[in-house]
A and B are shown apart, each in its own frame.
Chain A
């Protein structure tokens, strides 16, 4: 990734990653989990852990993305299934985002994660496979099926 090579190993690299990528990471976590609070918490935890590692991380940005998604997956497993919390009051989530997240929630967890990480956040398929604990070939299957289903869901909504 271009941004990663810029920040790796440089002093202040975690803060640089935060400034450059936090907003996109948070939105991706929101799209995946449908919970702004869980998105904030997972992102905060991932950046805090990265900061705690100091210079030990070879590629902080990659590490933070993978860690944040692992954390949010763990958090969502202990929360009620299918609960979307976009009307918290603390967060302002515009209506189009609300609709998109609702459509994403109707995909399987693996399809949703693959689409959000790869198609929205431009993370490499290999990294998606790492988060899912599967092969790149399987990720491509999730992507293909998920896109088809999402197009259908958004088409229904548009129609």
Chain B
């Protein structure tokens, strides 16, 4: 009979589920390896409830604050025919492309004015979802602090595809535009000035 190594090769017939999205979403959750005790469970539940309350309060506040908010406008289909791919001066109509799980495009955005962002993903069958966060909220390796996100696309975009967004006025500074699903590879540093 075949040796053990050969017999183990049968395992390659099993198809694993793609869990990358769960990996990314789990990164921002508290990690635990052991079952919490009931006391720990109560503390965890209370913390979670407080977190949900705080999150809901922020959402309500964001929803009713004046229009100068940098959060995403509810009208995603703002297509700008003047969007630029690459730029060496600040622009308020920009285009960003995703290819091979990397972001490319205009990385100098105008401060203090709404930004029209056209996003085109050429990665066939790959889903992505853009978000923007101040650069100091991200580590060099890719993890970004979720609580610091200033704008996020409303839905996933599947490749090949495109979407247009309107982002509220941003303060000057450095930001990171990244894909929620592939945050470590698909990211672009943005200079807002």
Contact = CB atoms under 8 A, between A and B. Distances in A.
Given A44-B26, A48-B27, A158 B1 contact: yes
B19 A115 contact: no
A2 to B, nearest CB: 18
B12 A27 contact: yes
Contacts of B29: 48
What is the interface of chain B mostly: helix, strand, loop, or mixed?
loop
B1 A43 contact: no
A61 interface: no
Contact of A115 (B4, B16, B26, B142): B4
A147 to B, nearest CB: 5
A17 B176 CA distance: 23
A71 B33 contact: yes
Contacts, number: 124
Given A15-B185, A44-B26, A158-B1, A96 B140 contact: no
Contacts of A55: 139-141
B4 A27 contact: no
B8 to A, nearest CB: 4
A22 interface: yes
Contact of A96 (B10, B35, B101): B10
B95 to A, nearest CB: 23
Contacts of A11: 140-142, 184-185
Interface in A34-90: 36, 39-40, 43-45, 47-49, 51-56, 71, 74, 78, 90
Contacts of A139: none
A93 interface: yes
Nearest to B24: A51
A119 B8 contact: yes
Interface in B1-40: 1, 3-5, 7-17, 19-20, 22-24, 26-27, 29, 31, 33-35
A120 B34 contact: no
B185 A96 contact: no
Given A100-B8, A150-B4, A22 B16 contact: yes
B184 A26 contact: no
A49 B20 CA distance: 13
B182 interface: yes
A158 B13 CA distance: 19
Interface of A: 11-16, 18, 22-23, 26-28, 30-31, 36, 39-40, 43-45, 47-49, 51-56, 71, 74, 78, 90-94, 96-97, 100, 115-116, 119-120, 147, 150-151, 154-155, 158
Nearest 6 pairs between A and B by C-beta? A54-B141, A26-B16, A54-B139, A12-B185, A55-B141, A48-B26
